[in-house]
Homo-oligomer: A and B are copies of this chain.
Amino acid sequence: MPRVGLNQQTVVREAARLADEVGFQQLTLAALASRLGVALPSLYKHVRGADALAQKLSALATAELATEMTTAAVGRSGGDALRAMAGAYRDYAHRHPGRYPATQRVPDPADPEHVEAGERAVGAVTAVLRGYGLTGDDAVDATRALRSALHGFVTLEAAGGFGLPRDVDRSYHQLIASMDISFRSWPGTGR
């Protein structure tokens, strides 16, 4: 039988494509193998198993997301940067419905690329917040707040949790606008 010529990268990339098509939960080794034209156990030559594949997919998606967030914010500051980054975040989740959930996995400490990607993503947020004059503990709190808002919104939206007809784009716009206001007066919010 002619070799297909796979390696870890091709396998993980195809898994990402498949996940976007069928959903992260429905990503299965069997489907992936048949997509790659290979018997299922052959995948084990390239990834250690289903869990390891999910972890690698997480690393890939996190790196992509970090890059898009960073790119969106570059050359902007303050509310401008915030809106651009938030837009890029939700846009990524829309374009890659199967990869996005993978980004929520905690980076594998043994995978330097994964760790680096996670740091880049958080760093992008931190950089935007620095434009509001937020540093130290305030920056940590604000980063958590922003990540919560973005992730929560995108997740609820994907789950179909927003039942009402009210335009979801506008709701997102309002959410980001409210975060902008919050960040401007952050240190005065509760201590």
Contacts and interface: CB of A to CB of B under 8 A. Distances in A.
Interface in A154-177: 155-156, 159-164, 166, 168, 170-171, 173-175, 177
A148 B152 contact: yes
A190 interface: yes
Contact of A171 (B141, B163, B173): B141
Given A145-B149, A171-B144, A182-B182, A104 B161 contact: yes
A186 interface: yes
Contacts of A92: none
Contacts of A174: 141-142, 145, 186, 189-190
A137 B160 contact: no
B178 A186 contact: yes
For this chain, the copies found in one complex come to 2
Contacts of A140: 164, 166, 171
A62 to B, nearest CB: 12
A190 B173 contact: yes
B189 A185 contact: no
Contact of A189 (B106, B163, B177): B177
Given A144-B156, A177-B190, 15 more contacts: A104-B156, A105-B159, A106-B161, A141-B175, A144-B153, A145-B171, A145-B175, A149-B149, A150-B152, A151-B156, A178-B179, A178-B186, A178-B189, A180-B189, A181-B185
6 contacts: A142-B174, A144-B171, A145-B174, A178-B179, A178-B190, A181-B181
